[in-house]
Amino acid sequence: MTHDNPKTGHNRESRLFYQSRSRRPLIDHAKGVYMWDVDGKRYIDASSGAMVSNIGHSDPRVIAAMNAQLEKASFAYRLHFENDAAENLAFRLAERAPGDLERVFFVSGGSEAVESCIKLARQYALAKGQAQRTKIISRFPSYHGSTLGALAITGYTPMHAPFAPMMVDQPKIPAPTCYLDRDDLSNHERGLKYANMLEAEILKQGPETVLGFIMEPVGGAATGALVAPDSYYARIREICDQYGILLIYDEVMTGAGRTGKYFAAEHWGITPDILAVSKGLAAGYAPLGAMIAPDRIVGPVLDHGGFIHGYTYAGNPMACAAGNAVLDVIDEDNLLENATQSGAALKAELGKLADEFPIIGDVRGLGLLLAVELVKDRETMEPIDPKHLAAARLVDIAYDKGLIIYWRRTRGGYRGDHVMVCPPMTITHDQFDDILIPLRAALGELQDELTLAGAFA
Ligand code: PLP
């Protein structure tokens, strides 16, 4: 595969590889919610990359803060120096985090943040003399990261399967996909039904063997912005307390404002025992993530031989300077409020598309974490045959039209198809048409293609 860059004149065989042989155009520049490739084609970034670029691209305030830090000290290893940028960001995160979460451990991404949660939970159990606690219960479907520890608690078959023999199998319970249920229960009762599956699993495993339960408060790409009934959140907290099991919130995607609150946990007034955050924390300006935990958990671990875990780039000054500047932008530009308002308005517009296209089975989400589910039959929510790769095809058609929505592999993974529509928190109503016009056209083309292929027969 060659890459032609008309600007640099480079035309050469690529040495780079990711998941497959398919390639994408070269990026030239990006500003706000828009991105341009080297051929001058404009795209609207309606997925904020992978739900990362929460404050939009190339904000000069963040760039200036990062430059200022680079000029002061580009790197300071945490075992040699502490740095102001990391100290300040830790302080500010502790102020925003729910309840007693006040100790911050920096990492460079979501998988590292989740790995850190697993290791802290384990070392806390050891510090308390509960060495028999080794299991982390999670949900299926779910995504918690690509490193082997995070993958072991991930409920996504295609990524999990090749490595299954190398990992310790961790128990999973069904995610609360209430929108698929066709029973006579109320939403409240459904929330309790799914939460009680955790209790059943704890009892099955033996409560004394379980370290924790990990969940995304609003599902990410795995479930398509899945929001559970309110009763679910409270009951899960109650069950974890009852059995002395740590509740871990994976806010890698939901954290840093995407759902309209700085942490999604705030929507239900729940304080988890440990929380992971990444993506929006430095909003794509630098690789950054964090684990946040209370002193009641961190203290015993530090006093019991220390926290045996860490990464070279932890607390990187430039990444933390970016994180601080991103927080400033969120506050100065009132972006939490905009995520709430624009999120509700965009969700309503996507709902109108559902009136036009029977292929849309559900529109869901919170703030600007939104998803559109594609189905064969809206009444029964019967999925489209996975052989058609409907969601992936929609993403490709939209991309050709200059609309970036979030891709997810369908085959062999989850039931059904969905796409994520998650523009930066800076999106304004007058930019909605740049999303909705190409999306409407792409849905029309997809529906025609699938009809021809007999997908609805
Ligand atoms: N947890 C959740 C909920 C995620 O959505 C992701 C990434 O999509 C991760 C963990 C892993 O993050 P990263 O890709 O930064 O390692």
Same domain, residue pair 198 and 327: yes
Ligand 1 pocket: which of 48, 252, 420 to mutate (most atoms within 8 A of CB):
252
254 Cα nearest atom in ligand 1: 3
- Establish whether residue 139 lines the binding site of ligand 1, counting it when its CB lies within 6 angstroms of any ligand atom: no
**Which of 272, 302, 332 is the last residue before a domain boundary?**
332
- DSSP summary character for residue 267: G
Same domain, residue pair 136 and 259: yes
- Establish whether residue 110 lines the binding site of ligand 1, counting it when its CB lies within 6 angstroms of any ligand atom: yes
CATH of the domain at 420: 3.90.1150.10
- Establish whether residue 252 lines the binding site of ligand 1, counting it when its CB lies within 6 angstroms of any ligand atom: yes
- Establish whether residue 50 lines the binding site of ligand 1, counting it when its CB lies within 6 angstroms of any ligand atom: yes
Mean pLDDT within 220-241:
96
How many structural domains does the chain have?
A: 2
246 is in which domain, residue-wise?
61-332
CATH of the domain at 308: 3.40.640.10
Q: Name, in order, each residue with C-beta under 8 angstroms of 258's C-beta and a sequence gap of 6 or more.
A: 51, 54, 264, 279, 280, 339, 367, 368, 369, 422, 425
**Percent of the chain's residues with pLDDT above 70:** 97
- CB-based burial label for 396 (10 Å; 0-12, 13-18, 19+): middle
Mean pLDDT within 164-192:
93
Q: Note whether residue 457 is domain-resident.
A: no
CA pair distance 332, 326, nearest whole angstrom = 10
Has residue 411 got a pLDDT over 50? no
| C-alpha 238 to ligand 1 mean position (Å) | 26
Same domain, residue pair 351 and 257: no
**Strands 369-374 and 417-421, sheet pairing:** antiparallel
- Residue located nearest, by CA, to atom 12 of ligand 1: 110
CA pair distance 390, 159, nearest whole angstrom = 20
Has residue 1 got a pLDDT over 70? no
Has residue 157 got a pLDDT over 60? yes
Same domain, residue pair 252 and 103: yes
Q: Note whether residue 218 is domain-resident.
A: yes
Same domain, residue pair 430 and 445: yes
Closest CA to 248 of 297, 305, 320, 313: 297
In angstroms, how far is CA 126 from the centroid of its own chain? 30
User: What is the predicted pLDDT for the residue at 15?
Assistant: 87
Same domain, residue pair 46 and 68: no
| C-alpha 253 to ligand 1 mean position (Å) | 7
Q: Note whether residue 349 is domain-resident.
A: yes
When the pLDDT of each residue in the chain is averaged and rounded to a whole number, the result is: 95
Of the CA atoms within 13 Å of residue 291, those in its CB half-sphere come to 26
**Which of 274, 308, 332 is the last residue before a domain boundary?**
332
CA pair distance 213, 195, nearest whole angstrom = 11
CA pair distance 280, 325, nearest whole angstrom = 12
Structure token pair of residue 110: 């979501």
The answer to whether the complex's ipTM is over 0.90 is yes
- Establish whether residue 258 lines the binding site of ligand 1, counting it when its CB lies within 6 angstroms of any ligand atom: no
Mean pLDDT within 332-345:
98
| C-alpha 213 to ligand 1 mean position (Å) | 17
Same domain, residue pair 126 and 215: yes
| C-alpha 256 to ligand 1 mean position (Å) | 14
Closest CA to 53 of 359, 368, 309, 451: 368
50 Cα nearest atom in ligand 1: 8
Lowest model confidence (mean pLDDT) among 27-41, 138-152, 374-388, 399-413: 399-413
145 Cα nearest atom in ligand 1: 11
Structural contact between residues 395 and 401, judged by C-beta atoms closer than 8 angstroms: no
pTM: 0.97
Q: Note whether residue 262 is domain-resident.
A: yes
- Establish whether residue 111 lines the binding site of ligand 1, counting it when its CB lies within 6 angstroms of any ligand atom: yes
Same domain, residue pair 119 and 267: yes
- Establish whether residue 109 lines the binding site of ligand 1, counting it when its CB lies within 6 angstroms of any ligand atom: yes
- CB-based burial label for 322 (10 Å; 0-12, 13-18, 19+): buried
Mean pLDDT within 125-137:
98
**Strands 34-37 and 42-45, sheet pairing:** antiparallel
222 Cα nearest atom in ligand 1: 5
Same domain, residue pair 389 and 311: no
| C-alpha 50 to ligand 1 mean position (Å) | 9
Same domain, residue pair 7 and 103: no
- DSSP summary character for residue 406: B
Same domain, residue pair 314 and 387: no
Has residue 14 got a pLDDT over 90? no
Structure-token match 């559109």, residue found: 372
109 Cα nearest atom in ligand 1: 15
Q: Note whether residue 456 is domain-resident.
A: no
* 144 vs 168: which has the higher pLDDT: 144
Structure-token match 């998803």, residue found: 371
Same domain, residue pair 107 and 234: yes
Q: Name, in order, each residue with C-beta under 8 angstroms of 52's C-beta and a sequence gap of 6 or more.
A: 279, 280, 283, 284
- Establish whether residue 197 lines the binding site of ligand 1, counting it when its CB lies within 6 angstroms of any ligand atom: no
User: What is the predicted pLDDT for the residue at 410?
Assistant: 52
Mean pLDDT within 195-222:
97
| C-alpha 144 to ligand 1 mean position (Å) | 5
* 6 vs 374: which has the higher pLDDT: 374
Ligand 1 pocket: which of 279, 407, 408 to mutate (most atoms within 8 A of CB):
279
**Which of 332, 357, 387 is the last residue before a domain boundary?**
332
